[in-house]
Amino acid sequence: MIYVIPIVLGYLIGSVSFSYILGKSLKGIDVRQYGSGNAGATNTLRVLGVGPAIAVLLLDVLKGIVPVLLTMWWFPEHVTMHVVAGVSAIIGHNWPVFLKFKGGKGIATTIGVVASLCFLPALFAGIIAIISIVFTRYVSLGSLIFTFLLPIFLLFTDYETPIFILSIFIFIFALIRHRSNIVKLLQGRENKIGAKSAKKA
């Protein structure tokens, strides 16, 4: 029964939507009704601006770090539980129980999870992803590059197998969550970072 606690805790922490909270507190709006409809940092940037977006980004990353570190403290030798706690946080962010299971795409929370589990591979993948965002201004492309490169970099390390399996899961998960973005990228219709978005129809 004790093994269920990290799963539930990870999911509940992940379910706290800072994008939604800031939208309501700053402008009295639900950010999911604007732009892409996602409760994440990128849509927060479009709807609320730079300051709130940075706050959401950092807090969403923290949502991935906290459950993993707590589980590492509870079960220091149980790598699979560390991974499961991280996955639970990502699932919570994407399908938050507090917002009728409509959340974001989980990349920032994923960054927090993998930074806690495999810092150097995550760092190298993150640097390349950031460079791609700087040059293309496509956050979705950077997110996909990050999740694609992570398992490749892990192949050249000695991290435990559950962490590598997690990286594969994360990449597949990102493809599924970004399928509409992929279509828009191929069609040249994807929004670039900094673009303003109107209320959804």
The percentage of the chain sitting over the pLDDT mark of 70, rounded to a whole number, equals 96
HEC assignment per residue over 43-59: HHHHHHCHHHHHHHHHH
Cα gap 89→109, rounded to integer Å: 7
Residue 116 has pLDDT above 90, yes or no: yes
Whole-number average pLDDT of the chain = 92
Specify the higher pLDDT residue, 193 or 33.
Answer: 33
Domain boundaries, the chain: 4-187
DSSP string, 75-114: STT-HHHHHHHHHHHHHHHHS-GGGTT-----HHHHHHHH
Residue-level pLDDT at 196: 59
Helix (H) or strand (E) holding 143: helix 139-154
Residue-level pLDDT at 46: 86
pTM: 0.90
Specify the higher pLDDT residue, 196 or 186.
Answer: 186
| Sequence letter at residue 29 | I
Cα gap 180→190, rounded to integer Å: 9
How does pLDDT run across 99-110, given as a tens digit for each residue? 989 888 889 999
Give the pair of three-digit tokens for residue 110. Answer: 């994923």
Secondary structure tally for the chain: helices H, strands E: 10, 0
Residue-level pLDDT at 201: 43
Give the pair of three-digit tokens for residue 145. Answer: 């590059």
How does pLDDT run across 149-184, given as a tens digit for each residue? 999 999 999 999 999 999 999 999 899 989 989 999
Mean pLDDT across 91-117: 93
